């Protein structure tokens, strides 16, 4: 009977997030772990008169791994693509190319059944849209960014000429968003990031989750040069080294959490929307406006960021100055 409660969130997705119309084709890309969520989404889509196809794959081995070619090709021909999966495929060529073909894509990575019932899914996404777009527009118009935090972050980035991405869980043709995080982000110019990141909120990957102690990351000329901290830092450090790819250390993203309903819990798409947090993404940047494709994309979250764009304070903790 839990599915009856989950249908409320599924209906929010169909009506408010993708504006599904009768007769449209919906492709649900899932894996063998997330099939129950896919089933509820399919029921809500059928309820609205859509043509629904569910493609189930083996769970990916890591975030950022491409889906099978058969599924990737199918994604290009759907009106709506919903992606409830265990490991993120957000930062993949498959998502990028499906968006370029006009699909409306919504990514539900590491979703739990409870996330369709309460939490970030309860937010009024359209009401949040103006703030989210305002921060993204400020990024798009900006050049020099300085990120600091009480925990010790002190990072400089150059975002000259880079787009600002507003992910507020509502998509038009050619757009993708994650859900239920609401965030504005941008991808810095490759090689431009310098300074220090202190993640003291969450690293919602690799089983790390909510942080017990800070992870300190040194950055030079766009790449991580050192990672230190306790046990959780070692998990991150060992995983990045295991891929034997320098692009895993690329500074790929600056993102700001903007969903007042999200709560820090160690699950990526809840954590990244939390106010007042910011995150620094590392690894792949191709879906955000950058040029780097890596085997991974992870996000390092900090509390109470202060973000200055060209000397003007844009974000200061839970305050956004537009």
Question: What string of H, E and C letters represents the secondary structure of 290-320?
Answer: CCCCCCCEEEEEEECCEEEECCEEEEECCEE
Q: Provide the CATH number for the domain around residue 86.
A: 3.40.1830.10
Torsional sign, CA 6, 12, 13, 15? positive
Instruction: Indicate the residue among 81, 101, 118 that finishes a domain.
Output: 118
Does residue 171 sit within a domain?
A: no
Does residue 12 sit within a domain?
A: yes
Does residue 112 sit within a domain?
A: yes
Q: Which residues pair with 164 in a beta bridge?
A: 186
DSSP state of 180: S
Would you say residue 1 has pLDDT above 80? no
Q: Identify whether residues 309 and 227 lie together within a single domain.
A: yes
Does residue 253 sit within a domain?
A: yes
Q: Identify whether residues 67 and 186 lie together within a single domain.
A: no
Q: Identify whether residues 95 and 8 lie together within a single domain.
A: yes
By DSSP bridging, strand 319-320 and strand 80-85 are: unpaired
Does residue 172 sit within a domain?
A: no
From CA 40, how far away is CA 34, in angstroms rounded? 10
Q: Identify whether residues 159 and 261 lie together within a single domain.
A: yes
Q: Identify whether residues 296 and 191 lie together within a single domain.
A: yes
Q: Identify whether residues 83 and 157 lie together within a single domain.
A: no
pLDDT per position as a tens digit, 31-42: 999 999 999 999
Does residue 321 sit within a domain?
A: no
Q: What value does the mean pLDDT of the chain take?
A: 96
Does residue 174 sit within a domain?
A: no
Q: Identify whether residues 99 and 193 lie together within a single domain.
A: no
Select from 148, 192, 164 the least CA-distant residue to 292.
192
Domain that holds residue 143: 127-166+180-315
Q: Identify whether residues 107 and 235 lie together within a single domain.
A: no
Q: Identify whether residues 257 and 114 lie together within a single domain.
A: no
| Per-residue tokens: 178 | 């994650």
pLDDT per position as a tens digit, 221-234: 999 999 999 999 99
Residues 6+ apart with CB under 8 A from 21: 48, 49, 50
Count of domains for the chain: 2
Rounded to the nearest 5°, which phi and psi values hold at 21?
-115, 150
pLDDT per position as a tens digit, 244-288: 999 999 999 999 999 999 999 999 999 999 999 999 999 999 989
């Amino acid at each position: 009977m839990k599915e009856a409660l989950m249908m409320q969130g599924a209906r929010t997705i169909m009506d408010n997030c993708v504006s599904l119309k009768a007769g449209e084709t919906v492709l649900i890309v899932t894996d063998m772990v997330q099939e129950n969520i896919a089933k509820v989404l399919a029921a809500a889509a059928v309820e609205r008169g859509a043509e629904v196809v569910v493609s189930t794959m083996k769970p990916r081995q890591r975030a950022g791994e491409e889906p099978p070619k058969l599924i990737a090709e199918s994604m290009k021909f759907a009106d709506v693509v919903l992606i409830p999966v265990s490991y993120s495929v957000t930062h993949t060529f498959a998502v990028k190319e499906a968006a370029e073909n006009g699909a409306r894509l919504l990514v539900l990575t590491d979703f739990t059944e409870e996330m369709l019932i309460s939490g970030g899914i309860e937010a009024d996404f359209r009401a949040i849209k103006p703030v989210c777009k305002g921060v993204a527009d400020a990024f798009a118009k900006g050049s020099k960014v300085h990120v600091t935090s009480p925990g010790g972050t002190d990072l400089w980035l150059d975002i000259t000429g880079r787009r600002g991405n507003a992910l507020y869980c509502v998509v038009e043709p050619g757009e993708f968003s994650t859900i239920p995080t609401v965030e504005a982000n941008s991808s810095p110019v490759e090689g431009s990031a310098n300074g220090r990141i202190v993640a003291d909120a969450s690293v919602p990957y690799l089983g790390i989750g909510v942080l017990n102690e800070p992870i300190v990351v040194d950055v030079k000329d766009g790449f991580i040069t050192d990672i230190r901290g306790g046990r959780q830092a070692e998990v991150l450090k060992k995983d990045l080294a295991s891929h034997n790819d320098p692009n895993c250390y690329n500074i790929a993203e600056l993102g700001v959490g903007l969903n007042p309903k999200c709560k820090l819990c160690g699950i990526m798409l809840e954590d990244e929307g939390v106010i007042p947090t910011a995150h620094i993404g590392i690894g792949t940047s191709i879906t955000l406006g950058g040029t780097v494709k890596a085997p991974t994309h992870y996000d390092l979250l900090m509390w109470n960021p202060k973000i200055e764009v060209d000397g003007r304070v844009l974000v200061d903790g839970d305050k956004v100055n537009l």
